[in-house]
Homo-oligomer: A and B are copies of this chain.
Amino acid sequence: MKAFNDLADFSNEEIKALVALAGRLDSNPEPEALKGKVLSLLFLSPSLRTLASFQAAMVRLGGGSFVISPDMSIHGLESRPGIVMDGVAAEHIREAVPVIASYGDAIGIRAFAERKSIETDMQENEFTAMTNLIDTPYINMESAMNHPCQSLADWKTMDDLNLPANGGKFVLSWAYHPKALPLAVPAATLHMAAKRGMDVTVLRPEGFELPDALMQKAAAAADVSGGSITATDQRSEAMEGAHVIYAKSWSSTRHYGDRLNDQKLREQHLDWCVDEHWFENAKDDCRFMHCLPVRRGVVVADEILDGPRSVVIPEARNRMLAQMAVLHQMLGGQS
């Protein structure tokens, strides 16, 4: 495996093998599988779960990692091509990324969306500008429009819960949040659930529709897997018979990159906070998923997070296991 960048690059059989490997590494540890192997971790945006889970994953497999993050005094990295670097930035990604990659057997890279235009962010310019510089195997630790590690963990989480693939009803719901957040998680989640064969409903207020290109990519995956994709702003309709609701806030796509108008629009939807009322016509044991961090009382009510529907903690732990499986395959751990 030369790259773990997008679940769409893998067949369902390959995904299932990764999920199975993740489970096996949990029950049968392999503390020598990646002995002496190094994972370089490059964060251009801050992180908690990703940072911790990748470091833990490498230790569990007998290797190790190092972290370069924006918390360090590296004065920012320049990324514009052809620039005369007489300002603050002391280093260009054209040097920094290949060097950091060269210390590892693989590199994980996190680069968030610029969030000026959807079209630009859909092109993943910042992320591919970096991966184009290296031959080292790489892992997408969240880019402008993707988060494959989260999606692999989420797939495993649903398998662990015996949530049906074909015939399973998956609601991806927007929720209120005071900030305009990236589309990476909803984009990846929509595609993942469709690829898993589920009937996916995107539930969101007007102005927060997911971009057409993302809907089409998911629809294509659904066509292959036997799933389906729909979208609505009607909560009750969306939740009918749902096996799982995956809540996540994201930027208004109508006002993408326009903070003021995004804020005005989102503040009309303060009531999009998932509570027990949402589940009235869902399956009795309908589950609640979220990638974390989550704002209590804003995105979701305490009663849900503290009740039996929530699977957010094992879901987060599955980040570590899913990444162990990816690293094991990528770095040639003996099975």
Contact = CB atoms under 8 A, between A and B. Distances in A.
A34 to B, nearest CB: 9
Given A91-B48, A103-B317, A38 B66 contact: no
The bracket for how many chain A residues form the interface is 35 or more
Nearest to A66: B55
Contacts of A72: 46, 48, 51, 69, 71
Contacts of A40: 52, 56
B104 A56 contact: yes
Interface in A50-71: 51-53, 55-56, 58-66, 68-71
Interface stretch (A4-12, A80-88, A112-120, A223-231): A80-88
A100 interface: yes
Interface string A94-120: 111011101110000000000000000
A207 interface: no
Contact of A84 (B64, B297, B316): B297
A287 to B, nearest CB: 16
A178 interface: yes
Nearest to A317: B102
A96 B293 contact: yes
A312 B71 contact: no
A256 to B, nearest CB: 21
Contacts of A295: 85-86, 90-91
A59 to B, nearest CB: 3
Contact of A298 (B85, B102, B297): B85
A2 interface: no
B64 A55 contact: yes
Given A48-B72, A55-B64, A102-B316, 9 more contacts: A35-B62, A40-B56, A52-B103, A56-B103, A71-B71, A83-B296, A91-B295, A92-B296, A102-B317
7 contacts: A36-B61, A48-B74, A51-B72, A56-B103, A85-B295, A85-B297, A90-B293
